[in-house]
Structures are given as structure tokens and as C-alpha cells.
Structure 1
Amino acid sequence: MAVVVATTAALGLAGCGSDSGSGDGNVSLDLLVPIYGDKTKPYWEQLVKDFEAKNSNIDVKLETQSWDDIYKVVDTKIQNNKAPDILELDAAGPAYATDDLLYKADEIVSPDTYKDIEPAFIDSAKIKGQAYGVPTVASTRALFYNKTLFQQAGIAAPPKTWDELLTDAKKISALGGGVYGYGMPLGSEEAQAETSIWAYGAGASWEKSGKMTIDTPQATEALTFMKRMISEGATQPDPGATDRTPLLNVFIQGKIGMIEGLPPIVGQIKEKAPDLDWAIAPSPTKDGKPVTLGVADYFVGFNNDKDKQASIAKFLDFFYEKTNYVKFNDNEGFIPATKSGADAAAAKPELKTFLESLPSAKFYPATNPAWGQTSGAFKSLVGEIASKSPADVLKEIQAKADASG
């Protein structure tokens, strides 16, 4: 799942798109999806084959793109009046509705499928109260912790509050030997995620009434505590120069006591460090009340041709059939965004914490046009809290958010 939200280029006019269905009752659908890993393309190739075998009048043309390229590919297609009929993307996908390019979410799946989807994920990408995307994969964040380091440091249970987190992280860092208590990635890869986890844990929100709200008392309190974690030696050195992926690898190597992670990390640990003694707990917050960061990717349907709407819904209903959908999430290592899929995933104990955190998850305001530049400002500036006042850093990020319009 991509956690970086693209800033889309100028969009084309509503009604543009790929060739319409032919007059003989046959329909051709263009499907564009991102590549998560090695299993992505084979999964879609087989799903399309199985669907076409049951729907001989519908031809699905599959295109896969890397996350690095897909935003540019989509914008280019729209500008050339070749928008795909079905697109999977992050919350930048539903944002195309601002140019009247999309069907509503309840128009691209059946009522039964729509009711099966976890409401929090649909609500997170609404535009002016209307949903235009149906979630494909979902992810929340949770605290991964090293049970061996906990034992060595005399820690009986994972922390629930910031104060407990600071105390426990300092105990682990005191073990020495290149071990650090808490991994805090504030580098350019995903600083907006780490910051959001802390800020949401203090009651902050990045948007109100369509305006970016970055410089707030709650966010200041969160960044001030993050700075305290750094200055008191509870984190790895120089968090502002540390990206998420390499830091997670350090955790997998057994050198970090605690770090925020997402569901695919479970599979990485099993593959790279099967002997690591680890567990997952809810993200610590200021007062221990549950809240965490949620992220989802979405299917959207472009309203290129009204004759294709029923076929789009038929294909997406097929994707969301329990067997097909659970296999998709199993392949990619995420948690399902449907209630029936979550029931199936509940049999996997390592996903329990992620599933339980869904109702309390808060999301990026990714459908707001200003979020792209705001997210970039977090990536470039928030790491400076080690040497600057958190209040000054937030003011700089707010200024960039305001400048984006």
C-alpha cells in the first residue's frame, strides 16, 4: 500500500475515457491496478481469467503499474481521453471526483457488497460527504515490540501511554550494544505517518472544514514529546535522517525495542527473522485511549460510458467475493476492509491488534487538494524538531499547507 499521496496533474473533462462497449452486447473494461509485490500481477491475471469464464460478454483488459509510475500514467490517460474504467489507487483516486469523472461508490458495487465494507474506510475518503471509492486493502499502525529486549530491560508489558513509552524506551536504550528503545523514522520516506500517529494520539486532526490545521496545540504537544524522546536518548540517533524501511529492518534484526509498523511487517519478520521473539500492541497515546493511523487504497469507477456501469459493478462484486478478496489480502499482507474478510482474518492471531484498531483509526485528509504539499512539508521539515522548536516547525509546515491553496 502506498502511503505517499500524489499531487495529481490538471484533469480532463468528465465523460472522457476508453472505448465504449460495442452495440452487440459485449463490453470491454480497462482495469488499471498498482503493483504491491511479486504476487500482484499473477493474482489479477487469474482473477480476470476466472471472471471472463463466467461472463463471456465482458472483456477485462488488465494493466499493472508500479506505485512510482501509476499517478503519472493515470493523469496522462485522463488528459488523452483514455481514463481506465476501473482504477485502484490510494485516496488520490476518489479525489478525481472533484472533476466529475467518477461514479459514486454505491454505483460501482452491489448493495450487499457495499454494506459489507467497513464504514470507517469508506468515510475516510468522502468528498463533501459523498463516497466515490470502495476500499481494496486496509492498514492500521500498531506497536511492534521485541520481547527479548523487554525481558532484558525488566519490562513486564508494552506501554499504553507516552510516559510509559518514554520510560520503557530509555530502559532498552540503556542496554547498550547498538540497541535503541524506540525507532522513530522522521526521514523523507514517511515522516507524515510517524508524526500523524503521535499527533492523533494527542487529539490532533490535520483538517477542519476543508482547511489544513497543522499548527495546533495538540500537534505542538505531540511534537514536543517526540523531541523529548529524542533528547533523552529513547530513540535511534538522528531520526530526521532515518527512513521507515531501513529502520524496520533494524527492528527485524533485533536491535530496536519498539517501532510502529503495519501488517505486511508480519510476513517480513517470518521470512527474514523467524527466531525473533516479538509481539504487537496498540499504539501508545497521550492518555492511553485507543487511536491510530489508518490508510486504505480504493477502487474507483470512471464514468466514461453509462453502458459500462453494470459491468463495472459485476466485476468488483466478483473481486469482493470472500474467497477472491481474502486471497488478495493474504497475498499482499494487508487486512481486509470488509466485515466478512475481517472475520476470516480474525483466525490469524498476529492480525488481531490491527483488526481491533479499525474502529478507532484516523486517516490522512488525502482527498483535500492541499494534502499532497502538506505531506511533502512533513517529510522535509518535521525531522528538524531535534534542533528546532516544535512550534516553529509546525508553523513552517502550516505555511506550506496554506500556500498550496
Structure 2
Amino acid sequence: MKKSHRFGAIALAAAATLTLASCGFGGGSSGGDASGKTTLNLLVPSYSDNTQGLWEDVISGFEKANPDIAVELEVQSWDNLESVIATKIQGGEAPDIYNGGPFAGFAADDLLYPAKDVVSSDTYSDFQDAFLANAEVDGTAYALPLIASARALFVNNALLEQAGVAAPPTNWDELLDAATKVSALGGGVAGYGMPLGSEEAQAEAAVWLWGGGGSFGDASEITVDDPANLPGAEQIKKMIDAGATQADPGSTNRSPLMDIFVQGKIGMQVGLPPTVGQIAENNPELDYSIVPIPTKDGSAFTLGVMDQLMAFKNDDSKKDAITKFFDYYYSADVYVPWVQTEGFLPVTKSGAEALSGEEALKPFLDVLPDAQFYPSTNPKWSATDGAFKSLFGQIQTKPAQDVLTEIQAQADAG
């Protein structure tokens, strides 16, 4: 099979491996320092090896334009991020600005500024309406959309061809058959990369549970143990039991597993737009395709993910400085290069317009508006997300229904 990117390819140089880089800070309780500057504390996750440098460039430009404001940066891995933010909040040291995923629980505890309070009207109106809706709780946005992404299946064409698979799979039966044949090639090759470890278990779970007609719920109710989720959970076990995946999926994280795909040792794995950049950086000769994610019946399905920026109500004297930082960051000449380098999709109208001429991005931008998103506006989503990360890997050894029930119980407990 020749290389064909049915979902398009993004020529990115950024690697997508999550790395840990930190330059700790002491909390957000003080509005200024001895020099009279207002100090903002910024906690962000590492999306790639470029993340820290990108934020440092943003901060440098912002501080040059606003010499009375200083920004202290802390970068954490996604594996550590949620425990770090929880510890800081419990210790009364919440960052002033936080880049993360779940936020509704913070809003329910009255910890966040409404988004409209910390951006200008021009900046607020520039966000795509669909993304703002995903940042609302009871009709009020408490977070600012940061980046968006759509998922797709990355396929090693050469391995499928060696295994006698004529075309990428479109449904679960075809995927199981193709992955089993690729795994049978031996030599350390796995048919399907299935990351059920703590890094992003909720995403791999969504690929299967939603692909079988289920969901995690909505703004008012979390529905992990809904019977509609059982077919996807049982298909996961079927893949593992057939030897169609890598060894021990329950403890495997997405980033190191994708490194193995890039090395040419995995037949198929669900990936992100930045995966293209990782391949270009580390194995440009890899013969691969990007195709829609297979579902139970072959129907269309796209998992969308949106991360946010949010501002904690630590000190009202900092609100104007936070607003200046957000307005600076979301200006097109700052925001667009940041998104491009990280390899994600823009959430602003001006960003989408600036990238509209990039043919490689168009397929991702086209499918994103119809993507299914996590119920992140539900206050229990943070607990649900944590439950997936801590419990879902057990599905390889425990009955699927038991795992879903345990996740639901932990979600309900908050």
C-alpha cells in the first residue's frame, strides 16, 4: 500500500513526546514583588519537547510589552499535572493561570473567574462558538479554549502489507483480524497499540466505548456504567485476549507507545495531529496512512479533545494583569505560531482563518466541529477522568462490567 493520508498530514517538526520540565513556583497568594511588579504564576502541561520554550517565548514577549508584570512558569508532565494542581489548591497555592483539561469542579467550588471577566470582549468574541460551549457551566464559560484536536488511526502500511491485509480496517471485526495478523509477524511487532495506562486511559476508553454507541454522559449526568458502553469494553478485552495488542496494555502509556509506532513496530494506533510531526522528526521514511477510527459498525466517529486555560481567583489585584496576558497570548501573531508548532488545531476564528490555506490541516479542521467531546462541563468529570486513569487498565484482567461499575462509583463519589 502506498502512503495515503485520508485525513491529511501536517508537516510539523515538533515531536509529541511528553516530557517533564519544571521550574517551580511558590503559589499565587501575593500580588506583587519587592520591585512593585505584579507576578502571575502559570502552570501548564508539556505537550512536546517544544512546550517550555514556546511558553518562555510568549512570556518574554509579554513581559517586554508589559514591564510591570512578571510571569513565573511551571511545566509538568500530563501524568503529574492533576495531582500537582490538586496539591496546590489544597495548600492554598493555586496558580493564577492554569492550562488543563477538567475544570467544572473548580468552577463549582467558586475557584475560577468567569472567562468574560479576564479577557477583552474582542478576544472573547474571537473564540469559535462550539468550543466556548464546551467551556460553559450553567451557561457561563469558566475556561478559555486553548487548543483542539481530533483523533484518527495511524496505520503502518508496510506491516499490514506484510501481514496480507489489503486495506486499513473500518470496523471492529476488520480491526481485530488485521491486528491479529500483524502481531503474528513476530519480531516484537504488535498489531494494535492500546494505551490503557494512566497517561490518557480516558481517551482510549472513549475510542472504544463511544465507537460502540456508548458515551460518558453530559453536563448533568455521568453514565460510564450505561449498558451502551459494555460492547466497547468487551471488544477491548477481545483484542487483548486475541494477542492483537502489545503486551500489558493496562500499564502502557500513549506517548511511549506512540514512540514504538514511529519506530515501525506497531501496525495501528490512534494518534493526534502532532503525531505527524513526531514521525517527520524521528522516522521520515515510515510508510503510513491516517484513516478514520474503526467503529463497531463502521459508522463515522471522531474523538475531539479540547484543553483550556483558566484563571483562579487568588487575588483580585491580579485580574487586570491576567486579562493583559490572555489578550496578548490569543492575538493571532502570538497564538497561531504556538498552535502550529505544537501541532494542534486553533480554537479562535482568527486562528482558523490564518491557517485556512494550509491544505494539510483542512481535513482535521473539517471533522472537528462534529467530534464527540468529554463531558468536561460536568462537575464530576474531573473525578471521572481520574477514575479512568487509575482503574481502566484493570480491564485486561477483570470483567469489563466490574471495571465500568467501579469507575462510575468513583465518579459519583466525586
Which of residues 258, 265, 270 is equivalent to 1:248?
Answer: 258
- The answer (yes or no) to whether the contact 1:93–1:299 under 8 Å persists in 2 is no
- The answer (yes or no) to whether the contact 1:373–1:401 under 8 Å persists in 2 is yes
Shift of residue 220, structure 1, vs aligned partner = 0.3
Q: 2:141 aligns to what SS in structure 1? A: coil
Q: 1:357 aligns to what SS in structure 2? A: helix
Shift of residue 111, structure 1, vs aligned partner = 3.1
Partner of 2:385: 375
**TM-score normalised over the length of structure 1:** 0.82
> Which deviates further from its counterpart, 366-375 or 232-241?
366-375
Call closer, same or farther: CA 1:284–1:41 in 2, change over 3 Å.
same
Which of residues 394, 397, 404 is equivalent to 2:404?
Answer: 394
Partner of 1:47: 58
> Which deviates further from its counterpart, 230-239 or 364-373?
364-373
**Quick one: distance in 2 between partners of 1:42 and 1:214?**
38
Shift of residue 138, structure 1, vs aligned partner = 2.4
Partner of 2:280: 270
**TM-score normalised over the length of structure 2:** 0.80
Structure 2 residue identity aligned to 1:59: I
Structure 1 residue identity aligned to 2:55: W
Shift of residue 195, structure 1, vs aligned partner = 0.8
- The answer (yes or no) to whether the contact 1:31–1:61 under 8 Å persists in 2 is yes
Structure 2 residue identity aligned to 1:179: V
Partner of 2:23: none
Which of residues 273, 289, 305 is equivalent to 2:299?
Answer: 289
**Quick one: distance in 2 between partners of 1:125 and 1:203?**
24
**Quick one: distance in 1 between partners of 2:87 and 2:201?**
29
Shift of residue 30, structure 1, vs aligned partner = 1.0
Q: 1:189 aligns to what SS in structure 2? A: coil
**Alignment map for 1:321-332 (pairs within 5 Å):** 321-332=331-342
The C-alpha deviation readout for 1:195-223, integer Å capped at 9, x for no partner, is: 11111222322234633211112210111
Unaligned 5+ runs, structure 1: 4-15
Shift of residue 17, structure 1, vs aligned partner = 4.6
**Quick one: distance in 1 between partners of 2:283 and 2:248?**
26
Q: CA RMSD, aligned part only?
A: 3.4
> Which deviates further from its counterpart, 185-194 or 131-140?
185-194
- The answer (yes or no) to whether the contact 2:103–2:376 under 8 Å persists in 1 is no
Partner of 1:139: 149
Q: Do structure 1's residue 172 and structure 2's residue 182 form an aligned pair?
A: yes
Partner of 2:101: 91
Shift of residue 239, structure 1, vs aligned partner = 2.3
Partner of 1:320: 330
The C-alpha deviation readout for 1:268-293, integer Å capped at 9, x for no partner, is: 22222121111212222223333333
**Quick one: distance in 2 between partners of 1:316 and 1:291?**
33
Q: 2:307 aligns to what SS in structure 1? A: strand
Structure 1 residue identity aligned to 2:134: S
Which of residues 290, 293, 304 is equivalent to 1:280?
Answer: 290
- The answer (yes or no) to whether the contact 2:98–2:311 under 8 Å persists in 1 is no
**Alignment map for 1:157-196 (pairs within 5 Å):** 157-196=167-206
> Which deviates further from its counterpart, 268-277 or 329-338?
329-338
Call closer, same or farther: CA 1:19–1:376 in 2, change over 3 Å.
closer
- The answer (yes or no) to whether the contact 1:21–1:307 under 8 Å persists in 2 is no
> Which deviates further from its counterpart, 369-378 or 313-322?
369-378
Call closer, same or farther: CA 1:51–1:97 in 2, change over 3 Å.
same
Shift of residue 312, structure 1, vs aligned partner = 3.0
Shift of residue 299, structure 1, vs aligned partner = 1.8
The C-alpha deviation readout for 1:166-186, integer Å capped at 9, x for no partner, is: 233234334444333211122
Partner of 2:76: 66
Shift of residue 154, structure 1, vs aligned partner = 4.3
**Quick one: distance in 1 between partners of 2:196 and 2:241?**
14
Call closer, same or farther: CA 1:391–1:100 in 2, change over 3 Å.
closer
**Quick one: distance in 1 between partners of 2:210 and 2:178?**
21
Shift of residue 353, structure 1, vs aligned partner = 4.3
Call closer, same or farther: CA 1:21–1:92 in 2, change over 3 Å.
farther
- The answer (yes or no) to whether the contact 1:290–1:357 under 8 Å persists in 2 is no
Call closer, same or farther: CA 1:44–1:396 in 2, change over 3 Å.
closer
Structure 1 residue identity aligned to 2:112: L
Q: Do structure 1's residue 149 and structure 2's residue 159 form an aligned pair?
A: yes
Shift of residue 192, structure 1, vs aligned partner = 2.1
**Quick one: distance in 2 between partners of 1:357 and 1:167?**
27
Shift of residue 343, structure 1, vs aligned partner = 4.1
Q: 1:19 aligns to what SS in structure 2? A: coil
Q: 2:101 aligns to what SS in structure 1? A: coil
Unaligned 5+ runs, structure 2: 1-15, 19-27
**Quick one: distance in 1 between partners of 2:402 and 2:49?**
43
Call closer, same or farther: CA 1:225–1:73 in 2, change over 3 Å.
closer
The C-alpha deviation readout for 1:72-111, integer Å capped at 9, x for no partner, is: 66566656766544x1321344542223232222232233
- The answer (yes or no) to whether the contact 2:45–2:81 under 8 Å persists in 1 is no
Partner of 1:354: 364
Q: Do structure 1's residue 201 and structure 2's residue 211 form an aligned pair?
A: yes
Q: Do structure 1's residue 115 and structure 2's residue 139 form an aligned pair?
A: no
The C-alpha deviation readout for 1:109-157, integer Å capped at 9, x for no partner, is: 2333223323333322322232111122223321111122233344444
- The answer (yes or no) to whether the contact 1:170–1:232 under 8 Å persists in 2 is yes
Structure 2 residue identity aligned to 1:166: L
